[in-house]
Amino acid sequence: MHTVVVGTTGVTAHDVLAVARAGARVELSDEAVAALAAARRIVDALAAKPDPVYGVSTGFGALATRHISPELRAQLQRNIVRSHAAGMGPRVEREVVRALMFLRLKTVCSGHTGVRPEVAQTMADVLNAQITPVVHEYGSLGCSGDLAPLSHCALALMGEGDAEGPDGTVRPAGELLREHGIEPVELREKEGLALLNGTDGMLGMLIMALDDLDLLYKSADITAALSLEGLLGTDKVLAPELHAIRPHPGQAASAANMLAVLKGSQLTGHHQDDAPRVQDAYSVRCAPQVAGAGRDTMAHARLVAERELAAAVDNPVVLPDGRVESNGNFHGAPVAYVLDFLAVAAADLGSIAERRTDRLLDKNRSHGLPPFLADDAGVDSGLMIAQYTQAALVSEMKRLAVPASADSIPSSAMQEDHVSMGWSAARKLRTAVDNLTRIIAVELYAAARAVELREGLEPAPASRAVIRAAREAGVGGPGPDRFLAPDLAAADAFVRGGGLVAAAETVTGRLG
């Protein structure tokens, strides 16, 4: 199994995906262990002094004015974890929790948190044992980080609360730790706070969304090309020289993908045949511009994610000169904004895909295709309701595109009076990505049927490869009405699992 080594200078998006989704093992580098020990010596020295230091010998948040005596400090750290583990609602996904824990471990290993090496090692041990704390949907405002979600993870390190074992069964965390020979941690000064104070949940979900959207934007380029073929559109609008004079890199990449899929098609360029038209509709002609803008949005989001991956997000932080200083780096605004931005872009990509599907089904705009791509229109309804389903998904995506980060609700007796809502932005983006997959699947289903109904004209070799692979994956072709949900589910699985892109790339080579 792949092993990810955590040092002091951050990790990569690939590392996060390996741990969160592929279950990779985690090891601490010698450099990280040394940095942890050095920072801890600074915290221990400050704890021994009579002067109050926030997070070390004081309360937290609005209670930071109280100096805590040495005999109560361990209790203080336990209490902050227990009291902050106040999440409610459904459990979040296993991959999200693993990303959350791994990214908190990344910051701990930076040497800026003051956490002891043994606590960091326990975090790695829990990940490696495939123990996943139960984290709930609601509880983070995205300021002071993802407090409640991280608290549920810290609670499991203490041997309290519930967790999911390697077999998927939820049990008391203490039992699972014992079975794997892991000693629960006994938190000391600053450690409870350091385990809770980060943007790790929203960052982990951003990284996974970018991974999913990379596949979906390629998928959308392919289905747009299939729709263009089904509508007998022109591929002249995809010429590189046209996109070079508006030099957005994402636009050029999407146009190049579509052109690669359409290479060798006999279905393109018939817009001047029996029913001449000067131009294709915007949903066809402007596909690279819309998908390209989304790709460029992703590029900006990746830049933010890379910066955040290199960051040590905690409050207070231990600086190399021995100071322990309060700061506002836990505020989730940088991540929250791009999470919201991606939801906007995803909604628009879903919207333009639905418009192409609707055009394929409308006999007045499909240039010779049967109504609703039905076998015997009137007796058969064809794909009429598949488009309804797609439209419902698009409508929900538009609601999900309303930014969470534009909201703020004060908390902690007005000490935390402006929050990012980044966790909420991440949660709704996950739903949007899920919906976008289904929307693209419906376009694939309709466009493939439309292409097959164009008898006498050969689609592009890449299109043939896609349709053949889809049929082999259980996505049914044209014919009389049948129970449609299984076909749509198969199309969804084909897109979601990467089968669509893989099939096209057997002909086109790697798409950009």
- Residues serving a catalytic function are 54
Do the strands 25-28 and 3-6 form a parallel or antiparallel pair, or are they unpaired? parallel
Rounded CA Rg of the chain: 26
Contact (Cβ atoms closer than 8 angstroms) between residue 16 and residue 207: yes
Torsion of CA 422, 425, 430, 435, to 10 degrees: -170
Q: Distance between CA 386 and CA 395 in Å, rounded?
A: 14
- For residue 105, the tally of other CB atoms under 10 A from its CB is 27
Q: Distance between CA 421 and CA 407 in Å, rounded?
A: 7
Note if the bond before 316 is cis, omega within 30 degrees: yes
| Ramachandran quadrant class, 481 (left: phi over 0; alpha: psi -120 to 50; beta: rest) | beta
Task: Give start and end residues of each alpha helix (H) in 286-383.
Answer: 287-309, 333-361
Extended beta strands in 147-276, E state? 162-164, 170-172
Burial bucket for residue 441 (CB in 10 Å: 0-12, 13-18, 19+): buried
Q: Distance between CA 425 and CA 423 in Å, rounded?
A: 5
Secondary structure letter of residue 67 according to DSSP:
B
Q: What is the DSSP string of 276-299?
A: --SS--HHHHTHHHHHHHHHHHHH
Q: What is the DSSP string of 76-103?
A: HHHHHHHHH---EEEEPPHHHHHHHHHH
Contact (Cβ atoms closer than 8 angstroms) between residue 26 and residue 131: no
| Ramachandran quadrant class, 417 (left: phi over 0; alpha: psi -120 to 50; beta: rest) | alpha
Of the candidates 435, 241, 252, 245, the residue with the CA atom closest to the CA atom of residue 349:
435
Token code pair at residue 347 = 């909604």
Contact (Cβ atoms closer than 8 angstroms) between residue 166 and residue 129: yes
Q: Distance between CA 499 and CA 329 in Å, rounded?
A: 41
